[in-house]
């Protein structure tokens, strides 16, 4: 019996509803098209509301979605209909603040895309297979930082890292174009 609080997915969409970074932890959406349909539904249902100061919440289709908007990004955390909404909200807050710390304050779509790897690391550190790993933003950011710091230990490696970073950036831009 699953009494453990489970997260079904975490979504990061842009202001038009396109994907920026998403991670699914449940089998409710087996195909990619199902996932995209879900993202579209969530986006249209929350488009008209404003969730900039406080986390907002809505419910549909037996899912509870907690969400927050900043600049041109929309953060969503989804749980089952009987989930404790406040736990979902704390996960959302943790993710939101951690992203803010990682990107050093400027949270908008461009910055996120440039540091997409860090965002994915962040997602990985918050929830593992649906179970909440960590909700404290400082701890999460610390873990992400220690990951990325190891990549660039010596000077020469840093250059390589920079080159890799530029290559990654170009790749993501071309994917989105």
Partner 1 sequence: MVYVMIKELSPSADEVIIVTSSLMKDMTSKTDMYRANAIRVLCRITDGTLLTQIERYLKQAIVDKNPVVASAALVSGIHLLQTNPEIVKRWSNEVQEAVQSRAALVQFHALALLHQVRQNDRLAVNKLVSSLTRGSVRSPIAQCLLIRYTSQVIRESANNTQTGDRPFYDFLEGCLRHKAEMVIFEAARAITELNGVTSRELTPAITVLQLFLSSFKPVLRFAAVRTLNKVAMTHPMAVTNCNIDMESLISDQNRSIATLAITTLLKTGNESSVDRLMKQITNFMSDIADEFKIVVVEAIRSLCLKFPLKHRSLMNFLSNILREEGGFEYKKAIVDSIVILIRDIPEAKETGLLHLCEFIEDCEFTYLSTQILHFLGIEGPKTSDPSKYIRYIYNRMHLENATVWAGAVSTLAKFGAMVDGLKPHVFVLLRRCLFDTDEVRDRATLYLNTLGGDGAVVETGADVKEFLFGSLDIPLMNLENSLKNYEPSEKPFDISSVPKEVKIQPLAEKKAPGKKPTGLGAPPPSPSSTVDAYEKLLSSIPEFANFGKLFKSSPPVELTEAETEYAVNVVKHIFDGHVVFQYNCTNTIPEQLLENVIVIVDASEAEEFAEVASKPLRSLPYDSPGQTFVAFQKPDGVPAVGKFSNMLRFIVKEVDPSTGVAEDDGVEDEYQLEDLEVVAADYMLKVGVSNFRNAWESMGADFERVDEYGLGPRDSLAEAVNAVVDLLGMQPCEGTEVVSPNSRSHTCLLSGVYIGNVKVLVRLQFGLDGPKDVAMKLAVRSEDETVSDAIHEIVASG
Contact residues toward partner 1 (CB under 8 A) are: 1, 3-5, 49, 54-59, 66, 84-90, 117, 120-121, 124, 128-129, 131-135, 143, 146-148, 150-151
Residues 6+ apart with CB under 8 A from 131: 4, 5, 6, 7
Instruction: For residues 140 and 116, give the distance between their C-alpha atoms in angstroms, rounded to a whole number.
Output: 16
From the list 115, 109, 110, 175, the residue with the least C-alpha distance to 151 is 115
Nearer to partner 1, 109 or 147 (CB): 147
Tokens of 29: 């959406």
Whose CA is closest to 148, among 107, 104, 110, 109? Answer: 104
Q: Would you say 151 or 157 has its CB closer to partner 1?
A: 151
Q: Which residue lies nearer to partner 1 by CB, 12 or 66?
A: 66
CB of 48 to partner 1, least distance (A): 9
Shortest Å, Cβ 40 to partner 1: 16
Minimal distance in Å, beta carbon 36 to partner 1? 18
Helix and strand numbers (H, E) in the chain are 6, 7
CB nearer partner 1, residue 51 or residue 107:
51
CB of 66 to partner 1, least distance (A): 6
Which of 139, 35, 124, 19 is closest to 74 using CA atoms? 19
CA distance linking residue 37 with residue 35, whole number of Å: 5
Map tokens 């955390």 to a residue: 77
> Which CB sits closer to partner 1, 37 or 61?
61
| Least distance CB 143 / partner 1 (angstroms) | 7
């Amino acid at each position: 019996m699953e009494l453990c609080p489970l997260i079904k997915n975490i979504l990061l969409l842009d202001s038009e509803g396109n994907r920026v970074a998403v991670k699914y932890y449940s089998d409710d959406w087996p195909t990619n098209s199902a996932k995209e349909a879900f993202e579209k539904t969530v986006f249209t249902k929350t488009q008209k509301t404003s969730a900039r100061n406080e986390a907002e919440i809505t419910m549909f289709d037996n899912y509870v979605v907690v969400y927050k908007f900043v600049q041109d990004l929309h953060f969503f955390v989804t749980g089952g209909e009987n989930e404790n909404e406040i736990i979902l909200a704390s996960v959302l807050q943790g993710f939101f603040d951690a992203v803010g710390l990682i990107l050093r304050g400027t949270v908008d779509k461009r910055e996120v895309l440039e540091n997409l790897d860090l965002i994915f690391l962040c997602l990985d550190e918050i929830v593992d297979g649906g179970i909440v790993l960590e909700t404290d933003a400082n701890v999460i950011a610390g873990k992400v930082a220690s990951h990325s710091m190891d990549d660039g230990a010596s000077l020469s490696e840093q250059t390589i890292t920079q080159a890799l970073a530029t290559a990654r950036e170009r790749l993501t831009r071309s994917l989105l174009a």
